[in-house]
Chain A
Amino acid sequence: MSAHTYNSPSSSSQRTLGSILTLNVRKKAKARSRWIPAFAGMTTRKMSASFLFLTFLVTGNAFAQDVLIRNATVHTASSQGTLQNADVLVQGGVIRAVGTNLQAPASASVVEANGKPLSPALFGGITEIGIEEVSGEADTVDSAVKLANAQPMRPEFDVTLAYNPESVLIPIARIEGLGFTLLGANTGGSFIAGQGGVMRLDGSADSIGPRVLFVKLGTDVLGLSGTSRAAQWMLLDQMVGEARGRIATDSPHALLTPTGRAVLAHYLAGNGRILVSVDRAADIRQLLRWAQRENVRIAIASGAEAWKLAPQLAQARVPVFVDALADLPGDFDQIGATLENAARLHAAGVEVSFAQFGDASHNARKIRQHAGNAVANGLPWEAGLAGLTRIPAQVLGVGDRLGTIAPGKTADLVLWTGDPLDVSSVAQQVWMGGRAMPMRSRQTELRDRYLRAPGALPRAYTTP
């Protein structure tokens, strides 16, 4: 086992596991009345389970960004693989060391992991978290542009400008171990949906890394391309022609605004990924030809039939964000949908990540279930974890900061009750930039309000 050791400047004053436990014991009585619902039939064992979580609530109140997590099963999601009984030291919000018997500096709080799995905070998929509060209420949704009486093709549209870091969806996703998401633009008036970017789910307001341009092809957007998918290529080629200056900027038939030309040219110059949502193998084949001809960096989202072109995708180094639960012929683009899609792509050498296309935002936490099912259907476990960590981080241009547990990386970490890819596990504690996140959300507050027996006053008077 390779270990990165940390030379502690003050190992003599390290906090011990014992002191942390003592702290918790002291706070238990008070905390219990606030946090632990009292209801009949709770056994001692259940109580201890609750107190286990309490441990992290208490440490979570300390906003120190220095922490030593000891004795974890560390899934680095890097070439280091999984390290048993390993420690991770975080200072200044950054991972400083990964190894065994690390010494904690005075400033660091110590968390005993008891052998539980520690992973990088997970990729939450391609979502509208922060730009869509209630899907069915248009007033709360900012994910798509549809301009009446104006040019519909707007690659310059950028959804990160609408991002609300105070959305209740953020803590709801975060306490399930999700640390970053690709904020996506949805198609409105055009199959060129616009731009999005990577958001860390720590409440920060701004996107990190390069922008991503979202394009959708195939059946779903026939209505935006004159009823034929052939016209999607026709229109795309025209836009590329405008952006590359092959079509006069004053052409009366211009599809793009001057800004749109500049934005598209930026991607065509290889400065960011174009993420293409597409399912049918024939469309993917056309897409690969187009990407090669125009020399652009693409990735595929959904890709129900991507497995049919796995060798070509591997050769062209095109990653796929797979909907790992799609196994039905939902339309005539998905006739070949199979639960083995991820496994077959991986076996051919394609980089596989995951994305959902149902309720991707509110139920972003379900993405773990996608990875788990991909593993249950043949994807190696390590590839399943990589698909939720290292691979999306690298593909989206933030792999230097996110996606692995290694010195120098942002300390976005999750300690799990068990296998992070299994639905029978939950996140026990999440750290973002080394800060222990409160494991609370609007949903846990609703839960706690109704867990307890009603009192003399209506429940509206209860406080979390």
Chain B
Amino acid sequence: MAKKKILFIDDEKTFIDLVKLNLDESGEYEVKAVYSGKEGIAQAQEFVPDLIFCDVIMPEMDGGAVAQELQALPKTEKIPIVFLTALVNDREMGNLSGLIAGHPFIAKPVSVEELLQCIRKNIKE
């Protein structure tokens, strides 16, 4: 069975490079990392991942706009998106129904274990 594919979009290059290293290490997923919203949209059309992680605050194009565009494109409209954010407080963390623009989110800093749980929960079957 082919490995499930995950796309990371985040301007924090070092962060997603390390995330990719860690996930590659687990061997369960095929991971791609890009460093801007535009790149992310383009890559998503080619790569067609099963799950997209997208940073919220990015220069030029923020996470909300990226998600909107991805959902407007036929190839990516069904792909689940999880936001990565550095701006979440305790209350939102505890609130499991917490969504940003209708998408689930995960707060940085995040451990590999949390990330894996989040992937399992949200990835397209």
On whether the two chains bind one another, the answer is no
Which B residues contact A (CB, under 8 angstroms)? Answer: none
Which A residues contact B (CB, under 8 angstroms)? Answer: none
